[in-house]
Amino acid sequence: MSNHNKIRPVDKNNLSGKYKILFSTPQTKNSNIPMEFRGLQIFNNKSLAEEALRKRKKLTKILEEKRANSMKGNQRAIGNTGGEKSNLVQFSPEVQKLKNAKIKMAKELYKEGYKKTDILKIIIKEFKLKRDLNSRSWPKWLSNI
pLDDT of residue 11: 83
pLDDT tier, 144 (very low <50, low <70, confident <90, very high otherwise)? confident
pTM: 0.47
Nearest to 142 by CA among 93, 122, 91: 122
pLDDT tens per residue across span 54-75: 999 999 999 988 888 877 766 6
